[in-house]
Amino acid sequence: MRIDKRRLEQSIEELGRIGQTPRGGLTRLALSDEDKRGRDWMVSRMREAGLAVTVDQMGNIFGRRAGDSALPPVMMGSHVDSVPTGGRYDGQLGVLCGLEVIRSLDDAKIRTRHPVTLAIFTNEEGARFQPAMIASGVMAGKIALEDAYNTRDKDGIRLVDELERIGYLGAEPCVARPFRAYLELHIEQGPFLEEEGLSVGVVEGIVAIAWSRLTIHGVQDHAGPTPMRIRHDALVAAAEVVGGVRRIAREMGGDLVTTVGNLVVAPNIVNAIPGRITLSIDMRDPQDATLDRARAKLEAIVREACEREGVPYELEHYWRVPYTPFDRDVVDTVERAARAAGARYRRIRSGAGHDAQYMAAIGPAGMVFVPSRDGRSHCEEEFTPIDDIEQGATTLLRAALDLAGRA
Ligand SMILES: [Zn+2]
């Protein structure tokens, strides 16, 4: 059993044209006109493949291939939204390989006991509406539907209004639905598979993630007449925090990664002492306990930096996801499938969040990784060789068939 590499390559090319950037990347923000066109293209392909397509209250799309209707489906899914000037593999590959699996089952005239469902989740990236993975979060009961609906983008537009505008405000309740297993193929977004010359990662789980927001209140003043001894500069304190956040990971070592990715300076002009700073802190590790220790270090660094500069601050720890282990049987099934597909593979952990994380909270889930060239993603240079994609998609096919069972 193998998938059709040429056909899959062609789908990647076709979907990749919707929202394509001049340099071959992708800008298809959630619920934008491009997202609507990407969704429409997918729905047409799903209907052509004979799937029964439904849309839920969060705009999640499900296409079901028939099996024994009394049995829960094997679900394969990912997302078709992207970050601004992102790549054409993140998310896209998961839904296109899922589609290719269904087409391959049809080609081989295989009927399965469990139905097989292809799922496309809304706003996985969180680039337009926060938080990320909002729609699988609602489905898993972790985010209230009303809160998700009222989330606004930077222009103040509500998520629910955009769902309605693009015609994807569905009627099906967005609630936990039973599934035999959830499988998500995704690019690794890190360097390990490529460094080791491997085609497939059998994903064991997703690291724990903690997000914090720091606001520092300095005293805004003129950059000329204000002597150094009376200054309270918010950016000077922030600079110490940025260095300190890097130091946390260096000192604690292991798999811990720490990032300050967003810094907003007010008033952000040449001749004024910065009066107010907000900055983000993102920390990730496979061990929840490590994140607890990292958080304690962060609090000490912030306190000391702000005391030294004499500036008050607020530090909020506003989002935390624990380590998500995937279902042992599903992981073993994926590993068997990778071996049977003849793929060079290893077990691996995901450093990025995925819809599979929320799906794992409501049923048995697992993931298949394929390599990212130079480990890069969320950029136009994002690339995975088609031969690796073929190995990954064949692994997905074999795992899905194993879990769904032949009728
Ligand atoms: Zn993704």
Q: Show which of 321, 343, 369 is a domain's final residue.
A: 321
Same domain, 291 and 178: no
Query: pLDDT by residue (tens digit) across 330-364?
Result: 999 999 999 999 999 999 999 999 999 999 999 99
363-393 pLDDT tens trace: 999 999 999 999 999 999 999 999 999 999 9
8 A C-beta contact, residue 50 and residue 102: no
Give the H/E segment covering residue 368.
strand 365-370
Residues 6+ apart with CB under 8 A from 260: 241, 242, 245, 279, 280, 281, 282
Tens digits of residue pLDDT in 264-323: 999 999 999 999 999 999 999 999 999 999 999 999 999 999 999 999 999 999 989 899
Write down which residue in 295, 321, 347 finishes a domain. 321
What's the average model confidence in pLDDT over 148-174? 98
Same domain for 120 and 175: yes
| Residues 291/285, Cβ–Cβ less than 8 Å | yes
| 77 token code pair | 């899914």
355 Cα: distance to centroid of ligand 1 (angstroms):
8
Ligand 1 being an ion, which residues bring their Cβ within 5 A of it? 90-91
157-193: string of b/e by CB count within 10 Å (b at 16+)? eebbebbeebebbbeeebeebebbbbbbbbbbbbebb
Quote the number of domains for the chain. Answer: 2
pLDDT digits (tens, 9 = 90+) for 218-247: 999 999 999 999 999 999 999 999 999 999
Structural domain of residue 27, as residue ranges? Answer: 5-207+323-404
Quick check: 1 pLDDT over 90? no
Q: List the CATH number of the domain containing 283.
A: 3.30.70.360
Distance 317 CA to ligand 1 centre (A): 24
Instruction: Give 70 Cα–ligand 1 centroid separation in angstroms.
Output: 31
Q: What is the pLDDT of residue 30?
A: 98
How many Å apart are CA 110 and CA 117, to the nearest integer? 15
Residues 152, 15 share a domain: yes
Instruction: Report the mean per-residue pLDDT for the chain.
Output: 97
Same-domain pairing of 237 and 378: no
Q: Are residues 293 and 187 in the same domain?
A: no
What are the pLDDT digits (tens) for 206-221? 999 999 999 999 999 9
3-class DSSP state of 13: helix
pTM over 0.85: yes
pLDDT at 398 over 90: yes
- Of the residues 321, 354, 383, which one is the last residue of a structural domain? 321
Q: For residue 30, what is the domain's CATH number? A: 3.40.630.10
* pLDDT one-digit tens code per residue, 67-107: 999 999 999 999 999 999 999 999 999 999 999 999 999 99
Does 193 lie in the same domain as 203? yes
- Per the CB < 8 A criterion, the answer to whether 395 and 101 are in contact is no
Rg (CA), the chain: 23
- At residue 114, the pLDDT reads 98
What is the CA(90)–ligand 1 centre distance, in A?
Answer: 5
Q: Per DSSP, which regions of 57-146 are E strands?
A: 61-65, 74-79, 116-121
Q: How far is the CA of 188 from the centre of ligand 1 (A)?
A: 9
Cis before residue 173, ω within 30 degrees of 0?
Answer: no
Ligand 1 centroid distance, CA of 297 (Å): 30
pLDDT of residue 321: 86
Is the predicted pLDDT of residue 261 greater than 90, yes or no?
A: yes
203 lies in the same domain as 76: yes
